[in-house]
Chains A and B, each alone.
Chain A
């Protein structure tokens, strides 16, 4: 089911079967090109598949943006151990709701992408890890898997090609940290979702200490179209160094919130004003988060001239992230936004390492004081300093994910923190329909 109207400005590659009736069924998939690229992959060598993915400039869609072809190339070919495919469907980065749309509308696209990855590295089994809240997606995925077994696209000797592959779902149970790849593997092994020391990376020692390809749902879903179009043509959908399209979730104060498939390098201005129908109530954009709450926050004016790609966002001091765009208009209380974001990280810190566990809780306390206007100016500095001290000092990147938005909000919106302390109304117009107006 689609929860928002598609936009004519989209480039529908991964989502192209979405509007077909029964788009999730194997019959619809097979009648519309489904599984054909897997057959093509069966006639290619492992190097050829990986080279095609490298040529596509596909970068991981889970948030970190690591080049996918290179990652697959890291699996040791000669290892006698079994190899695994693990799909990261934990999707819990605040602002992100795109993997859900992919699995719900076209689970066979995901299965085909997994099969191609399995061919590229010689894996015989795979797991789709889906966050516990998405129970209905597990049902959809299991139905699709059953259909694929019944029609000979999973199991032994797939389509007579001498290829064996088994696929299973695995439910999470409510833990953001399980989206981090090594914690996800721990969880898949039946343990607490705490991160492992890296290296070794999953490519070398992943599930059950075996070589593992671990990618985001969207990353796998991109692979069939890469083989279909050819890596180069797929890359050209985007811009140099950032190939293809990206599912982008517009959220917050924009008129047409929704998930849209946009080419990499899409202008922010066009994304907000044309795809998203502009900022609610014709207001100004105060702040912009490009891809989930773990990214440093930009001021509205900084964001308008940018394009949605890895390099442009890095140059602006932030990250493209997971595709969860958060748009905040001029009525937004940034102190409260900072607090709510930290509330999340404090709740989700797995507790394994001290800088993250203690740092997030301490920051939450400081930000609570500041939000209530009962802190001191020193608290503002303390929040910034403390967050900076966490950077790079935690066991996994959750600590950075908590620190980065805080540092940017404190630096860029310091006046709002100070204004709250003075208990003076911040210079924001009061709109009655806005929940985030700062009241005196």
Chain B
């Protein structure tokens, strides 16, 4: 499996971050950074990461099944995450999530057929003082209203 030169550089740096007999420490970061390129954790990626670290693929699977941000099925190019945890709930997060479901025609952890958008109702993302909060891929959006969300989505549709 070939990665981009940037990812190769990142992986090299990553593997140098841990004692040489502790390469397994690089597992989760390697999956996270590689997933940004592959979209999700494919079978091929599991095997590649296992090979690079020098562990059996089953040890990679053990980890992939534990962490919410490691995806085992394709996500959209734009992964929209709406927080409905307590501070967001109090400021309209639930209505915002329902609105987003309708806007995108998707439910929790669903990906649109054309692969452009996917949606997820997420737990607290650390934006509680500027709630309700949304993340699209890794970008944060604060004080999001349904109107603001529509605007965000429509803009992304245009650039797509």
Contacts and interface: CB of A to CB of B under 8 A. Distances in A.
B87 A176 contact: no
B26 A190 contact: yes
Nearest to A189: B25
B126 A3 contact: no
A134 B126 CA distance: 9
Which of B31, B94, B123 has the most chain A CB within a 10 Å cutoff? B123
A94 B124 contact: yes
Contact of B131 (A93, A100, A251, A332): A251
A171 interface: yes
A4 interface: yes
A110 B70 CA distance: 28
Nearest to B23: A190
A10 to B, nearest CB: 14
Given A174-B70, A251-B131, A252-B91, A100 B126 contact: yes
A193 interface: yes
Contacts of A170: 17, 25, 28-29
Contacts of B125: 133
Interface residues of A, number: 58
Contacts of B17: 127, 168, 170
A97 B89 CA distance: 16
Contacts of A340: 84-86, 89
B90 A252 contact: yes
B51 interface: no
Contacts of B129: 3-4, 97, 249-251, 257-259
B90 A253 contact: yes
B128 A251 contact: yes
A173 B70 contact: yes
Interface stretch (B1-9, B61-69, B111-119, B147-155): B61-69
B67 A175 contact: yes
Contacts of A176: 123
Contacts of A251: 86-87, 90, 128-129, 131
A175 B67 CA distance: 6
Which of B84, B90, B127 has the most chain A CB within a 10 Å cutoff? B90
B75 to A, nearest CB: 13
A435 interface: yes
Interface string A353-392: 0000000000000000000000000000000000000000
11 contacts: A4-B130, A94-B86, A94-B124, A97-B126, A168-B17, A208-B22, A249-B129, A257-B129, A326-B86, A344-B124, A435-B89
Interface of A: 3-4, 91-97, 99-100, 127, 131-136, 168, 170-176, 187-193, 208, 249-253, 257-259, 289, 293, 324, 326, 328, 332, 336-337, 340-341, 344, 347-348, 350, 435-436
